[in-house]
Amino acid sequence: MRKLATLLALTAASPAFAASGPFFSLHNTNFIVLLAFILFILVLMKFKVPGMLAGMLDKRAEGIQSELDEARALREEAQTILASYERKQKEVAEQADRIVEHAKSEAANAAELAKEDLKASIARRLAAAQDQIASAQAAAVKEVRDQAIIIAVGAANDVIAKQMTAAKGNKLIEDAIAEVDAKLH
């Protein structure tokens, strides 16, 4: 049926009707061209050229469809990979923020610890300085006392030497000897 419809369409639309003289004559070139064309179409159909062309077109369509499917699959895979990298980038950014915050807090803690250490060091140095001052003060007081004792002994010696006579000195020496002798025996 298909072949007949094709043949009828070809004969109805042919320009052979415009030629002069009888149409079905071998002297009419339009009739000869029509016969050659019909013979050509029949040869093509005998060798199944339209089926081969349709098969080639179907194969090409299948190839294009498979390429489209592959491209779609690659696109989906690329979107998945992109989403994965974006997620990883976000995680890395969050981790970097956490590291920065941790470093800031550690720096603040270290600064606070350094302040406390500095205060303790200043307190220790102040206490050591106060101890040195107290020690120097005690040494000065002792030196003043020692000097006062030396001066007092010297003054007492001068006073006793002026008031002491030879008889009083001999009596003191004898009393001291007797006291030492009593304590030793």
CB 30 within 8 A of CB 15: yes
Average pLDDT of the chain is 86
pLDDT in tens, 133-167: 999 999 888 898 888 888 888 887 787 777 777 77
- Residue 72, both tokens: 């779609």
pLDDT in tens, 68-84: 999 999 999 999 999 99
Q: How far is CA 38 from CA 13, 29, 30, 53, 171, in A?
A: 13, 14, 12, 19, 181
pLDDT in tens, 23-55: 777 788 888 999 999 999 999 888 888 889 999
With CA atoms as reference, report the closest residue to 182 among 96, 174, 58, 147. Answer: 174
- Give the pTM: 0.39
Backbone torsion region of residue 20, taken as left when φ is above 0, otherwise alpha when ψ lies between -120 and 50, otherwise beta: beta
Q: At what angle do helices 49-163 and 29-46 cross, to 10 degrees?
A: 60
pLDDT confidence of residue 172: 79
